[in-house]
Amino acid sequence: MIEVLVTGGAGFIGSNYVRHAIATHPDWRVTTLDKLTYAGRLENLREVEAHPRHRFVRGDIADPAVAAPLVGASEIVVHFAAETHVDRSIMSAGDFITTDVFGTFVLLEAARQAPRLRRFVQISTDEVYGSVAAGASRETDELRPRNPYAASKAGAERLAYSFWATYGVPVVVTRASNNYGPNQFPEKVIPLFITNALDNIPVPLYGDGLNVRDWLHVADHCRALDLVIERGEPGEVYNIGGGNEVTNLDLTHQILGLLDQPVSLVRPVPDRLGHDRRYALDTTKLRALGWRPEVAFDDGLRATVAWYRANEWWWRPIKEQDPAFRAYYAKQYGDRRE
Ligand code: NAD
Ligand code: TDX
C-alpha cells in the first residue's frame, strides 16, 4: 500500500481529490489531515468515511506534534490545507500567514526527515502571478501577488521550492486557475451566486463585472494532480488552467440563465480592493505530460448548478444557520451598495 497524506482534505478541492483518489488508486491508503475550519466540512468526506483505505485526522498543519508523524509515514503528500478566500484575507490576513506560510513550513520541516517521501505536492494558485493584462502566465514568469492571500501562497510555494533546492525534498508546485464544481463553500462566487439566485436574493457583482477568471472543473484538476504526482519533476512548477476565460458578468448571466432568473437580480456593488483584473495560464508544460481538460465549461457549470439545486442539505445550514457565516456575509456585503 502507498501511504498518501492529503492536507485540507475536508475542503472543496481536497475532498474532491480524496474521493477521486480512493476511487481510482486501489493501492493508496489515504490519510486526510484537516483542522475543520469554517471551510472544512466532514460532510464532504461522507462517501469515504467508512472506507478501509481512508482515515480522517482532525488537526492543524501548523502543529508539529500532529503533522510530523503523519508526514513521516507518507510516500506522497498532497498539501491543499490553506486559508483560501481573497475577501477574508483583505479583511484580516493573520490566519493566512499562520496557515498558508507557517503551516507549510511545519510540513516541509517534517518532510526533510521523512524517509519514504517521494512527492510533496505544493498546491499553489494562478493568483501568485498577479493580474495579467494580456497573454498567459508561464511557469517562468515573475510572481507579482497583489492581495494578502496571493502573497501568502507565493511565500508558501517559494518556501517549498527552497526546501527542494536546499535539502532535496521532492517538491512539485502546481498553480491552478479558479476551480468550480461540487462542495465549494458558498463564499466563492459561483456557489454564492447559485445559492443566492435559488432564493431570489440579489447577486453582488464587484465593480464593472468585467474581471476575467479562467475556470477549471475540479475533476480536471484532480486528474492533473495525478499526472503531476506520477510524471512531474521535483523542483518544477506546473500551471493547471481550464482554458475557460469568462468575465464575471458573463458568468453571472450564465448562472441566472440556468436558473431561469432575471438579470435584474444582479446587484453591482463597490469593487474588491486591489481586485486583479485578469488571470490566464499557459498550460503547455502540463499538456506535454499528456493532460487535457475534459469538462466543457457550459456542461460543468450546468452540472454544478444541478448539484447545488439537489444538495440543499449541504449548503442551507451554512448560509442560514451558521452564525459565523452570517456574520461574515453581513460584514462583507451588508453595507456594500453602489
Ligand atoms: P477550502 O477553503 O475549501 O478548503 C481548505 C481546507 O483546509 C479546509 O478543509 C480547512 O478546514 C483546511 N484547513 C485550513 N487551515 C488548516 C490548518 N491550519 N490545518 C489543517 N487544515 C486546515 O479551499 P479550496 O478551494 O479547496 O483550496 C484548496 C487549495 O487549493 C488551497 O491551497 C488553495 O490555495 C488552492 N487553490 C484553490 C483554488 C480555487 O479556485 N478554489 C484555485 C487554485 C488553488
Ligand atoms: O461576491 C462576489 N462578487 C464578485 O463579483 C465574490 C465572492 C466574487 N466576485 C468576483 C471576484 C473575482 O473576480 O468573482 C471573481 C471570483 O471571486 P472568488 O470566487 O472570490 O475567487 P478568486 O478571488 O478569483 O480566487 C479563487 O481562485 C483562485 C479562489 O478563492 C482562490 O483560493 C484561488 O487561489
Per-residue confidence (pLDDT) for residue 255, from 0 to 100: 98
Residue 219 inside a domain? The answer is yes
Q: 126 and 48, same structural domain?
A: yes
| Residue 282: per-residue pLDDT | 98
Q: In this structure, are 127 and 188 located in the same domain?
A: no
State how far the Cα of 164 lies from the Cα of 64, in Å rounded to an integer: 20
Short-list 276, 281, 286, CA closest to 144: 276
* 275 and 137 inside one domain: no
| Residue 25 resides in a domain | yes
| Domain containing residue 188: CATH number | 3.90.25.10
Say how many Å lie between the CA of residue 277 and the centre of ligand 2: 11
Other Cβ atoms closer than 10 A to 56: 18
Reported as a pLDDT band with limits 50, 70 and 90, residue 5 is very high
| Residue 279 known to be catalytic | no
The residue assigned the cell 503531476 is: 228
Pick the catalytic residue: 34, 60, 83, 127?
127
Residue 200, amino acid: N
Ligand located closest to 83 CA: 1
In a domain, 285, yes or no: no
How high is the pLDDT of residue 336? Answer: 67
293 lies in some domain: no
From the list 60, 54, 42, the residue with the least C-alpha distance to 4 is 54
Question: Residues 167, 69: one domain?
Answer: yes
Same domain, 135 and 153: yes
Residues recorded for the chain: 338
Q: 46 and 84: one domain?
A: yes
In a domain, 127, yes or no: yes
Tell me: do 198 and 88 sit in the same domain: no
> Are residue 20 and residue 161 in the same domain, yes or no?
yes
271 in any annotated domain: yes
**Cα 148 to chain center, whole Å?**
16
Q: Is the pLDDT of residue 337 over 90?
A: no
Q: Is residue 204 part of a domain?
A: yes
Q: Are 260 and 130 in the same domain?
A: no
Q: Are 86 and 235 found together in one domain?
A: yes
Residue 189 beta carbon below 6 angstroms from any ligand 2 atom = yes
Looking at the fold, whether 90 and 173 belong to one and the same domain comes out as: yes
264-295: burial string, b at 16+ Cβ within 10 Å, e else: ebbebbeeeeeebebbbbbbebbeeeebebeb
Instruction: Quick: pLDDT tens for 279-319.
Output: 999 999 999 999 999 999 999 999 999 999 999 999 999 99
Which of 143, 112, 158, 187 is CA-nearest to residue 279? 143
Answer whether residue 136 is part of any domain. yes
Is 329 annotated as catalytic?
Answer: no
pLDDT at residue number 67: 98
CB burial of 176-203 (b: ≥16 within 10 Å; e: otherwise) equals bbbbbbbbbbbbbbbbbbbbbbbeeeeb
Whether residue 275 is found in the same domain as residue 147: no
- Three cell numbers written together for 62: 501548523
Domain range for residue 310? 181-213+247-279+299-333
User: How is residue 123 annotated by DSSP?
Assistant: E
The span from the CA of 101 to the CA of 311, in Å, is 34
Atom of ligand 2 nearest to the CA of 190: 19
Sequence letter at residue 43: E
Q: What share of the chain has pLDDT > 70, as a percent? A: 99
User: What are 131's three cell numbers?
Assistant: 493580474
Cell numbers standing for residue 250: 458573463
- Reduce the DSSP state of residue 2 to 3 states and report it: strand
Ligand 1 pocket list (CB less than 6 A): 7-8, 10-14, 34-37, 39-40, 60-62, 80-84, 99, 103, 123, 125, 153, 176, 178-179, 185
Tens of pLDDT, residue by residue over 17-58, are 999 999 999 999 999 999 999 999 999 999 999 999 999 999
CATH, residue 42: 3.40.50.720
In DSSP terms, which residues pair with 212 in a beta bridge? Answer: 247, 278
CB 278 within 8 A of CB 132: yes
Q: HSE on the CB side for 140, CA within 13 Å?
A: 2
User: How do residues 74-116 score in pLDDT, each as one tens digit?
Assistant: 999 999 999 999 999 999 999 999 999 999 999 999 999 999 9
Q: How many structural domains compose the chain?
A: 2
